[in-house]
Structure 1
């Protein structure tokens, strides 16, 4: 085909223009683009380094937060352990306060208990006196040791400082150096201590801070291992990587595991002749990259290849974080880019040459196809391809477009994969965090400034009675209700103003009141700590219902104890008065029996005196001061015998249930007082069922291993449980709260001493009591008494024989020891009426002298409580001097005056002459030698 000159000139001009344009574009753009590409690649390595540096900073921040949390956790555990120890000490000393053991025995038992107490990692509880002498310590090297040579690093005495702080503040924390067990090394130790001024000691416990640091170091090691795995997967360019070494030139993390843990400070930089580690540190200080010569894996030992490293110093761990990449790898992309630009230029020249030759229609058709493909891609179809396969610019454009679409599709797929992996990791972390938060024994929630819940753990959701997923995102008012919100609003406003707020709140749930203790902590958003803006708040709520219930029980027990002490004191004095009244009335009735009409006045007075004696007996039972004779009792048989009597006196409309035949249940108690207590409960049940019903008395053995809710916490042991239940009217909540108070009654007529007597008898018998009742649903009174092993019955025991009233002792000499003149006068007169000659003493000391000086004494009648020598001690001394002497001890209430001789007879105040005769008749007389 012949070409015209114009075609040739135009075509030649196009070729020349394209050639000149391509050459100029190459000369002026390719070197600049190559340099810029190199800088971009180099700066990319620095960006990666900065990201790793930020990651390490976050690791450090997380470890610091973990250490703070760990220290607070240790402090909480120290408080809890010390509370247990203090409770144990108070329990032991309470026995001394009750007179069960001496104060010295209690102190020794408490110190021995602390000495044997261990918990955690060999941790212990110690005790010191106000004189800084160690009273209890597991190490014999410190037991009983003074504080002279126990000093801290500043030379200050450790123990006196603790004593001064405890006496001034009551309790506190202190950190000081202390010797580790089985070693001479001293290490910092955090101790929590508390002053017990009533006991004159300071107790404390502690934990070595090294245990806290060990936990933090373990977390650090885990974080470093995670960082190591991440850095080993990270690549810069083709073979570049990141590594970390410390200031001692020891390699911490490196992709080559053989290099980790080794020192590389001896390796020299061939370019400077200095150690390469020091050059890296200097580069970190300048903030500039370091270029040095290194070998390649495929050319080991030939340090002729140029490398570039960015280095940053992380002061928190004293680490140097460095990148390492070969320079030729960074330049490779720029060379490839330049070559591609050159190829594009050549293709443009070819395309320009063919522009005049190719028809316009052929030019338009592929462009149209390319535009259609681009529209499909824009619409989201990443699988669209133009399909253009040409050797010109349009073909290159189509091929490049298709390649870019494929690369975009691959990139999107890679990003999707990474997003899925990251989402799975975040989901796993969120699940772990949710499990931890749900397992924490506290209710935790978060609120934003508008009062919407941002998160809540399972316990918080259960506390408000909602599903956990239901409360997230809702307003707090919609979750807890308007009434609760009205109480919470002032506390929320104070917290949103920047104040940490702690308060208690009570609300009803499932028929009982739930008491919570809530702490509101303000949360300031990132970057807003300085201007004080609160973006939300954290809620920490603890259920303290049981603690409050225990506190109420303790207050109630102390109140009843105070009332009991008052009642016991009144009953003791009243018993003396009644003894005088009843004794003189009996004497007047005997002496003036012939006076007509006098008996009509004396008989009511005597009944009133006996009624007063019954009231004082009930008061003494409530105050736990009545004289008791505990002995093994087979209770099932006793209840069956009682049921026979109760059925005779109860209306037929009341059914009575007792243990069936064949069962035996043994307990240790005073049989008479136990019968009185059960009869009182039965009569109360009868009065509560005016229209009939059912009374059940059930007995069983109960093993207590965990805490039970009775009038006070029940000690673990085996008990005999007695449950007296009825179907009567029950107690109101107000009456139930005061049921065992003396003189409180719900009856129209009554002394109000029935249940109080039962309560006092149970407590004096070392037992426990609980009353369960609701109006209209009946009442159940449960008693726990000490369990006894079965004993053989004495079927043919000979009853004691009392001598006849008014005779049998004529001419015998009796000694009366009583500090109350009027009571002594009544006793003397009654003994004279019985035929005794009487010698009197106003104190135990005076009576002891008379026992030594007077021969022929056959009877000693002594009050137990007297000035000087007590009646028990007097009886013991009299028996040593006069083995044949009968001994009768008189008391109106129980006291702790040592062991009463087994052969002594107790005569309770007030008494009448028949009681005195029976006591004298039962007084033991040893057989003559």
Structure 2
């Protein structure tokens, strides 16, 4: 058996003592034994201190690892949230790029949606443009604000720095102080952001570092408490212990709870006169113990007892870890042992050698075992135990060492438990993230390279009408069906090649309608650039598609209206020439017998043509209107009286009660014509009789409502005309408001188109509800008006042509035939006439002609318009009267509100009345 060097030293000393006599034994062996025992006790104290230091280091490493894991977890969350928000922005702006919505509407939808989005600990998404103007932020203080001057503690502007990083690298992290929502004090914030160069925006989100630090500090406090409990149970020798204080000399851990938290810097060493804390800090990690004077619990206040401490500085927490034991306790074991050996040597000198051998072996074996155990523990084997069971100091030391190792192991196990608890907390956080993804108004899925579904949110599961839990682990083909899979296969292959793909896909819903989705496939790239998986983002755009179809229909009707208006304008010019010449022929050749029998049918035909052009202008929203407050209930009652005399007795007319007044802004004559047209259509749809209902009521629109187009929220007057006649076939419903379209054997097809144009020109809305064989209902919404008093109109006396005999008039008209008719009628009224072919020519003439009293001008002409010409005349020669001629409805400027307008086609009496009206202001003057 190989013995240690300590064994041979002790045994040799015993043999020398026996040989040299008892005195020699006392002189040479006892001091050596005392020294070695003292050294062993002292080293044991140091070993315990080293183990506590190692345990503290593991706590620090565990906390740093937890902090790193927490920071990386937050960064992963930030990337995921920003990626989803960017996909949402791209989706909304893509609609604007395709013309589905305006750029302004896209920005409103995108920024309002992101401003309402919250995640984590009340964290949010922010968006800024390249000029540091915050476009989306949940805090009203920053919404729309130019934040280019907001600086961090280093004096650098925060947003310009973030924008510079994003535009240079495309993405990045940046830490800066920023206040939480609802708080004014800024906190350190870690933000992740990406550049969207095609939109000129930078989008990002962040988490506050004090959330991370708070979690780490909480774990540190728990670890310190666990360490405190462990150290309170550690004893060195009989009353020795381990304690910890920080660089501020505050006692962190001490077996005496009353000392914890106290200022340790006030304790003075009587031997040196220096604070004991400074001496301990100076001795830290110097590989030498510190001896100082202290009192005892049995003799308090008497600082005369030597204590010895090993000190180590733990830089991670800036702690000083120290052992503390009385010197006389360390020496007690060696003194007892030396006295026993001397007694044995004196009494049994013969057997001293044998007893010395046994004693040394008995002494060194457990010490070697303790040393081996300490080395194993120092190497990291926390299962190592000395196994020594003795009732002496070595036994106490062995038991203390074994207990300390077990406690360290238990503490590490506790740390592992804490780590598991934190893992569970992270899993709960994952559950919260899933709830967030389920709440997003979009369908989201995640596919592996093998097209196996790894994740779906509730929206995607509802889209395919399956349970989300059952979809996980299934292949995409079985989940959506082979026909749908074949339809999107080409798009998926492009995504597996690394391309982000957006496409639309339509499929029938079980309730009968068609569902249309816009799908975005986003590849997930590995570090080597290979595509390992893909994200699927699907949005239900069925309603948008329906709105798009409705908008196209409205645009088609507008285009037809513009064509009809142009035809009506040209036709009005022709009718003006025809009616003017027919009237002139009748006046000039009245004495020719029988001529009037030919002229009268031509005049009637021309006036029917004028009525057709009026209907075309009504459809094209170009008819002249005089919108004013109208009591629609009274108007409906008057129309019902007229209809009761002309409709067959087999048709029953139902109208509103006499009670309420319902006022709207409209042209009363055109509204009456519209009601009569609807009633006549209902009559034709009920050849065998039936029921005609006219209902008027007030209606407030607050929620989205669709008529011929989207109805703006406001107060309206609703007019409803219903019948129980033949109704419209589905194919006729789509063309009901088109001009010249009719389902009757005879008819112009302009009735409903005139009603449609009048409603739209009156800034109203119209809809037709009809089923074949079940009748029809036409509903009109008109702008509501407040009730007003109605005044009667004075009758105008016919003017006498002699009033204008010898006066000079200037005609501005680009159509030569119309100009000729106008010239003849003015001459018949007594005027001398000068002609101009355009507004520019008339502008040059009126300033040069002396005695000019009247200018008659068309409104629509090449170059200067009639409105512009009238304004110039008023500015330069206000004494000249002006008459404007038009077949269109037009919006005059405020300066031209009192101009006299002559509508095409006209006859000479209309022209005479218009000239008479121009004289009224001067007469009044």
Partner of 1:238 in structure 2?
Answer: 230
The CA distance in 1 between the partners of 2:415 and 2:382, in whole Å, is 28
Partner of 1:587 in structure 2?
Answer: 584
Preserved CA contact (<8 Å) 1:617 1:626:
yes
C-alpha spacing 1:89/1:479, structure 2 compared with 1 (3 Å): closer
Partner of 2:209 in structure 1?
Answer: 217
The CA distance in 1 between the partners of 2:734 and 2:227, in whole Å, is 76
C-alpha spacing 1:450/1:67, structure 2 compared with 1 (3 Å): closer
Preserved CA contact (<8 Å) 2:576 2:905:
yes
The CA distance in 1 between the partners of 2:421 and 2:74, in whole Å, is 25
Choose which of 104, 110, 126 in structure 2 pairs with 1:87: 104
Partner of 1:517 in structure 2?
Answer: 518
**How many angstroms does 1:476 deviate by?**
4.7
Preserved CA contact (<8 Å) 1:521 1:538:
yes
The CA distance in 2 between the partners of 1:607 and 1:516, in whole Å, is 59
The CA distance in 1 between the partners of 2:747 and 2:291, in whole Å, is 106
In our comparison, the structure showing a higher alpha carbon Rg is 2
* Residue 55 (structure 1) aligned with residue 42 (structure 2): no
Choose which of 781, 796, 806 in structure 2 pairs with 1:800: 796
Partner of 2:462 in structure 1?
Answer: 462
Partner of 2:903 in structure 1?
Answer: 908
Q: Deviations over 1:253-310 (max 9, x none)?
A: x999979xxxxxx99999996987xx9xxxxxxxxxx9999999x9999782577979
* Secondary structure of 1:238's aligned partner: helix
Partner of 1:890 in structure 2?
Answer: 885
The CA distance in 2 between the partners of 1:681 and 1:558, in whole Å, is 24
Partner of 1:122 in structure 2?
Answer: 141
The equivalences for 1:690-709 within 5 A come to 694-709=691-706
The equivalences for 1:291-440 within 5 A come to 304-305=309-310, 331=374, 340=387, 425=425, 428-429=428-429, 431-440=431-440
Structure 2 stretches lacking a partner, 5+ long: 1-46, 109-132, 150-155, 234-246, 255-259, 263-274, 298-302, 325-369, 391-409
Choose which of 787, 812, 822 in structure 2 pairs with 1:818: 812
C-alpha spacing 1:70/1:892, structure 2 compared with 1 (3 Å): same
**How many angstroms does 1:743 deviate by?**
4.0
Partner of 1:444 in structure 2?
Answer: 444
Choose which of 658, 667, 674 in structure 2 pairs with 1:661: 658
C-alpha spacing 1:715/1:258, structure 2 compared with 1 (3 Å): farther
C-alpha spacing 1:626/1:579, structure 2 compared with 1 (3 Å): same
C-alpha spacing 1:798/1:414, structure 2 compared with 1 (3 Å): same
> RMSD value over aligned CA atoms?
6.4
Preserved CA contact (<8 Å) 1:292 1:307:
no
Choose which of 822, 828, 846 in structure 2 pairs with 1:827: 822
The equivalences for 1:245-260 within 5 A come to none
The equivalences for 1:72-111 within 5 A come to 87=104
Question: Please, which moves more after superposition, 636-645 or 54-63?
Answer: 54-63
The CA distance in 2 between the partners of 1:883 and 1:310, in whole Å, is 97
* Residue 632 (structure 1) aligned with residue 633 (structure 2): no
The equivalences for 1:496-507 within 5 A come to 496=496, 498-507=498-507
**How many angstroms does 1:653 deviate by?**
5.2
Partner of 1:104 in structure 2?
Answer: none
C-alpha spacing 1:772/1:204, structure 2 compared with 1 (3 Å): farther
Choose which of 522, 530, 533 in structure 2 pairs with 1:532: 530
Partner of 1:68 in structure 2?
Answer: 79
Partner of 1:759 in structure 2?
Answer: 756
Structure 1 stretches lacking a partner, 5+ long: 1-35, 92-113, 127-136, 142-151, 166-171, 196-202, 242-248, 260-265, 280-289, 312-319, 344-409
* Residue 791 (structure 1) aligned with residue 782 (structure 2): no
The CA distance in 1 between the partners of 2:909 and 2:468, in whole Å, is 76
**How many angstroms does 1:542 deviate by?**
1.7
C-alpha spacing 1:303/1:611, structure 2 compared with 1 (3 Å): farther
C-alpha spacing 1:577/1:274, structure 2 compared with 1 (3 Å): farther
Partner of 2:403 in structure 1?
Answer: none
* Secondary structure of 2:699's aligned partner: strand
The CA distance in 2 between the partners of 1:173 and 1:416, in whole Å, is 36
* Secondary structure of 1:925's aligned partner: helix
C-alpha spacing 1:565/1:632, structure 2 compared with 1 (3 Å): same
The CA distance in 2 between the partners of 1:764 and 1:68, in whole Å, is 52
Preserved CA contact (<8 Å) 2:443 2:537:
yes
Partner of 1:491 in structure 2?
Answer: 491
Q: Deviations over 1:456-481 (max 9, x none)?
A: 33333333445555655555555545
C-alpha spacing 1:666/1:310, structure 2 compared with 1 (3 Å): same
Preserved CA contact (<8 Å) 2:770 2:777:
yes
Partner of 2:610 in structure 1?
Answer: 613
The CA distance in 1 between the partners of 2:282 and 2:448, in whole Å, is 60
**How many angstroms does 1:669 deviate by?**
1.9
Choose which of 642, 664, 670 in structure 2 pairs with 1:645: 642
Preserved CA contact (<8 Å) 2:82 2:193:
no
In the superposition, the TM-score normalised over structure 1's length comes to: 0.61
The equivalences for 1:132-171 within 5 A come to none
C-alpha spacing 1:847/1:728, structure 2 compared with 1 (3 Å): same
The CA distance in 1 between the partners of 2:496 and 2:435, in whole Å, is 29
**How many angstroms does 1:661 deviate by?**
0.9
The CA distance in 2 between the partners of 1:555 and 1:118, in whole Å, is 36
Preserved CA contact (<8 Å) 2:49 2:322:
no
Partner of 1:376 in structure 2?
Answer: none
**How many angstroms does 1:85 deviate by?**
10
In the superposition, the TM-score normalised over structure 2's length comes to: 0.61
**How many angstroms does 1:648 deviate by?**
3.9
* Secondary structure of 1:660's aligned partner: coil
